[in-house]
Amino acid sequence: MLKKLFGKKNEPQDLVVFSPVSGKYVDLTEVPDPTFSEKMMGEGFAVDPSEGRVVSPVDGKVIQVFPTKHAVGIKSNEGLDILIHIGLETVAMNGEGFEAHVSEGDKVKAGDLLIEFSLDDVKEKAKSTLTPVVFTEGEQFENLELKEAEDVKGGETEVASVTVKA
């Protein structure tokens, strides 16, 4: 607030986004759901998970845990909104096989456990295990560089660098 009063402008901030899931990196356009592949929800990437753990991709705050625990929204400390959607059509599982370890309003660090899920249940009951990670508010950033990797480790592999607008 003082910066606004004295005319100083905030500078854009660079942010490194880590993969929230371990597994195989997948281009968002390859996700078999047009909501994600046609980027209707925003730009991002996906991971075909090798284990049932989702960790925070950034330092920030949990802004939403869906009641069915199949998705979580995070706002980074820099102001970037990120949606992590475990599998496709997993909302129909009604939370079965999902366990949230965070609640709305919790502060998290990159690598903190958010949700555990049964990969076997998702394989059996959902359309796909592919887990899209989407930057839902395009106006929040001025530059996004996806760093394609083949194998990613949750909380450790850098998958994007983003310049978040002030």
3-state SS assignment for residue 3: helix
Q: Is 85 a catalytic residue?
A: yes
Give CA–CA dist 35/132, Å, rounded.
10
Name the catalytic one among 85, 98, 131, 135. Answer: 85
- 83: nearest Cα among 146, 141, 30, 131: 131
| DSSP secondary structure letters along 51-101 | SSEEE-SSSEEEEEE-TTSSEEEEEETTS-EEEEE-SBSGGGGTTTTEEE-
Give CA–CA dist 54/137, Å, rounded.
21
Q: Are 129 and 119 in contact (CB under 8 A)?
A: yes
Active site residues: 85
